[in-house]
């Protein structure tokens, strides 16, 4: 069975899709009410964000568009020091999409939401002409657990930590598209576990950001753009697997500009660097964490290279890899 | 200048788009921080919803996809008894879209947000292959001002009010597509003003819903599906303009199944019907409001026809008009 325009009509077929697939998998008492909006009890400061997902192919080693749509928004909330609580989900389905595909995506979203401890509380479905593509928007609400996490809180002397190996999501998507056989799997994952470890260990985190489109290089430039600081990282400290190194060598890619979907940087006071590193490493998705550099004076992003040279790191120009998330 | 894939890269071009268009028009202190999430102070119960918009053509008499994307989500919040406060906005742009078009849409969203008194506090932009299409998702948060507004609160003897003329958005979109010259304009509008009047006048509203995809017939069936009540409306009471009547006669359309984007029904205690009607009519977008029927015992939706017959009203089967919102 395939999606046709009547599944976006708001009538019987839309209702069937909602009941047979979305309610079945996302099942929770708030969503099940099927009102125009979810009604939630929240208290105090919340984080609120949105992200759309257009990744192609929709299914890849280590994940799929559904898992990505949950983890991406969960991570955006986490990076603001918030514990993610609720998501909304807007599907735009192209005509011709197999209903089985929609269900496979919904199942994957439900699994990811369960791991990330979030509820999908509201949704919407539209159908457009096309050839079986799926686009997903998620928005999310989290309760702020750590106040003042902001790029403007970065200070000279702070340490910069990276939670694990660079480039994996990017390389996995590229491998799928090019038909390259390898063991590289997307790192797509929720990162709230790392925030929870920071809270438990009393780490006073100044800034966090997940490494996605634009890669590590672009994030580090955002720090210098939005604070009055510079950034210095060390090439030898960057965690990169041998598989990714080989992949990059062959294809002429630079891991600094490659997207991850389950990695983050954290900027913490210099004297808490080792403790923060331990906290990261004790988390499921932080086993390969490393201290990769520090916040400096000045306004530039530089890298001490393996050969002890200094390389200036710029923001991404042009397109790294289209539709990577 | 046209959108190309690099505007979705997360790098320099994405950043230019954000600064030159979105921040310029949506300008507010929360969005301007450009963090991974907006940080908001909310208190108590909130309403939370999402909607995607794929309307074609993007610009039509009385509105455009941007105005629709703001009003649609504002209305979903309002229908839960909430005062809309914050929106997020996710753009999916097809390659080849004129940047001028994106700006025109953003301007329109900003204007609609201003009228509806909401702030756009977070956003996202993705680019896909295509021929210049634009898809917009908005999510929204509102603060609940009236508790217990729910389809399950409908009771036998309640009056059903409709805030104005049926079929206008549907007919406007259809006219654009078919190249029909007429004066029919989309009714796309924010309906929070009507809720505010209800609150001011002490109307104990049981249920509200905006009349969108699926039309009035589908909403009335949702009442009987989700409550233990029936619905009876009177054909002679339905507010329909002469232009829409003529349009429907010529094209064989039924206004009961046509979409609006600035109309709502309200179910209120029978004895408050006249007072609620006055409240609606005193609002900018409720001038043609009417009491159209009542909640009855039983489980069916029926209409007393002009000729004093009884017609059973079913939910929409198939597709009314694809991509109407």
Question: Which CATH number fits the domain that encloses residue B96?
Answer: 3.30.1330.10
Q: Is residue B324 part of a domain?
A: no
CA distance B55 to chain A (A): 9
In whole angstroms, what is the distance from residue B109 CA to residue B128 CA? 22
With pLDDT > 70 as the criterion, what percentage of chain A qualifies? 100
Alpha-carbon distance B288 to nearest alpha carbon in chain A (angstroms)? 24
Q: Is residue B323 part of a domain?
A: no
Q: Which residue range(s) make up the domain with A232?
A: 151-312
**So what's the pLDDT on residue B272?**
98
Pair A75, A20 in one domain: yes
CA distance B122 to B139: 10
Domain boundary pick from A123, A144, A165 = A144
Q: Has residue A245 been placed in a domain?
A: yes
> Which of B144, B159, B194 corresponds to the end of one domain?
B144
Same domain membership, residue B176 and residue B69: no
Residue A243's Cα: distance from chain center in Å?
A: 22
A55-89 residue pLDDT tens: 999 999 999 999 999 999 999 999 999 999 999 99
Pair (A254, A157) in one structural domain? yes
Q: Does B219 touch chain A (CB under 8 A)?
A: no
- Residues of B within 8 A of A220 (CB-CB) are none
* Domain end (from A92, A120, A144): A144
* One domain, residues B242 and B276: yes
What is the residue whose two structure tokens read 């009538």? A11
Q: State whether A136 and A35 are in the same domain.
A: yes
Beta strands in A172-250, from DSSP E residues, in sequence order: 207-210, 230-234
B133 lies in some domain: yes
Q: Which residues of A touch B51 (CB under 8 A)?
A: 90, 124
Chain B nearest-CA residue for A43: B43
Cβ-Cβ contacts under 8 Å for B249 (sequence gap 6 or more):
none
Count of beta carbons in the 10 Å neighbourhood of residue A12: 18
B233 and B104 co-located in one domain:
no
Residue of chain B whose alpha carbon sits nearest to that of A152: B33
- ipTM, 2 dp: 0.95
Give B122's contacts in chain A (Cβ within 8 Å).
Answer: 48-50, 139
Are residues B166 and B66 part of one domain?
no
Domain tally for chain B?
A: 2
Residue A43 is assigned to a structural domain of this protein = yes
- The answer to whether A52 contacts B80, with C-beta atoms less than 8 Å apart, is no
**pLDDT surpasses 80 at A280:** yes
Question: What percent of chain A has pLDDT above 90?
Answer: 91
CB contact set of B95 (below 8 Å; sequence gap of 6+): B2, B3, B4, B5, B127, B128, B129, B130, B132
Co-location of B165 and B306 in the same domain? yes
A181 and A287 assigned to the same domain: yes
Are B189 and B303 within one domain? yes
Q: Answer yes or no: do B279 and B252 share one domain.
A: yes
Taking every pair of Cα atoms in chain B, the longest distance, rounded to a whole number of angstroms, is 66
Residues 6 or more apart whose Cβ sits within 8 Å of residue B52: A90, A91, A92, A124, A125, A126, A137, B135, B136, B137
Residues of chain B positioned with their CB less than 8 A from the CB of A139: 50, 88, 90, 122, 137, 139
Beta sheet of A119-128, edge-to-edge order: A119-128, A82-94, A134-144, A38-53, B38-53, B134-144, B82-94, B119-128
Q: What is the CATH number of the domain that holds A164?
A: 3.90.650.10
Phi and psi at residue A193, to the nearest 5° = -60, -35
In a domain, A260, yes or no: yes
Q: Is A109 within 8 Å of chain B by CB? A: no
By C-alpha distance, the chain B residue nearest A41 is B45
Whether A53 is in a domain gets the answer yes
pLDDT in tens, A155-211: 999 999 999 999 999 999 999 999 999 999 999 999 999 999 999 999 999 999 999
pLDDT beyond 80 at A123? yes
Confidence of residue A121 (pLDDT cuts 50, 70, 90): very high
Compute the average pLDDT of residues A127-136.
95
Say if B28 is an interface residue toward chain A (CB within 8 Å). no
Query: Could you tell me if B121 and B193 lie in one domain?
Result: no
Please judge whether A213 and B123 are an interchain contact, meaning their C-beta atoms are less than 8 angstroms apart: no
> Which three-class secondary structure state does DSSP give residue B123?
strand
Q: Kindly list the averaged pLDDT for each block of 10 residues, start to end, along chain B of length 325.
A: 91 91 96 91 94 97 98 98 98 97 98 98 96 96 96 96 98 96 97 98 98 94 92 98 97 96 98 98 98 96 96 87 93
Query: For A110-114, which contacts have Cβ atoms below 8 Å and span 24 or more sequence positions?
Result: A110/A25, A110/A26, A110/A27, A111/A67, A112/A66, A112/A67, A112/A70, A112/A71, A112/A74, A112/A190, A113/A26, A113/A70, A113/A87
Considering the domain boundaries, does residue B325 fall inside one?
Answer: no
């Amino acid at each position: 069975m395939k999606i046709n325009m009547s599944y976006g009509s708001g009538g019987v077929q839309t209702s069937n899709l909602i009941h047979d697939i979305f309610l079945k998998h996302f099942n929770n008492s708030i969503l099940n009410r099927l009102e125009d909006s979810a009604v939630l009890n929240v208290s105090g400061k919340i984080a609120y964000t949105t992200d759309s997902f257009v990744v192609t192919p929709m299914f890849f080693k280590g994940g799929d568009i559904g898992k990505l749509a949950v983890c991406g928004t969960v991570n955006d909330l986490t990076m603001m020091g918030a514990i993610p609580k609720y998501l909304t989900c807007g599907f735009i389905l192209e005509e011709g999409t197999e209903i089985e595909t929609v269900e496979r995506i919904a199942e994957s979203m439900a699994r990811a939401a369960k791991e990330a401890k979030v509820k999908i509380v509201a949704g919407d479905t539209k159908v457009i002409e096309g050839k079986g593509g799926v686009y997903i928007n998620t928005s999310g609400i989290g309760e702020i657990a750590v106040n003042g996490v902001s790029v403007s809180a970065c200070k000279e002397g702070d340490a910069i930590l990276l939670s694990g190996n660079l480039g994996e999501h990017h390389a996995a998507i590229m491998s799928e598209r090019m038909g390259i056989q390898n063991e590289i799997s997307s790192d797509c994952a929720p990162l709230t576990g790392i925030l929870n470890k920071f809270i438990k260990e009393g780490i006073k985190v100044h800034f966090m950001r997940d490494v996605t489109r634009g890669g590590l290089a672009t994030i580090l430039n955002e720090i210098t753009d939005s604070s009055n600081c510079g950034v210095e990282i060390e090439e030898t400290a960057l965690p990169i697997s041998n598989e990714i190194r080989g992949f990059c060598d062959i294809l002429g890619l630079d891991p600094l500009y490659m997207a991850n979907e389950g990695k983050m940087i954290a900027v913490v006071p210099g004297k808490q660097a080792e403790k923060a590193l331990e906290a990261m490493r004790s988390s499921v998705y932080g086993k390969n964490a490393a201290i990769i550099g520090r916040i400096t004076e000045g306004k530039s992003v530089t890298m001490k290279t393996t050969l002890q040279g200094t390389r200036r790191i710029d923001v991404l120009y042009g397109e790294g890899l289209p539709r990577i998330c």
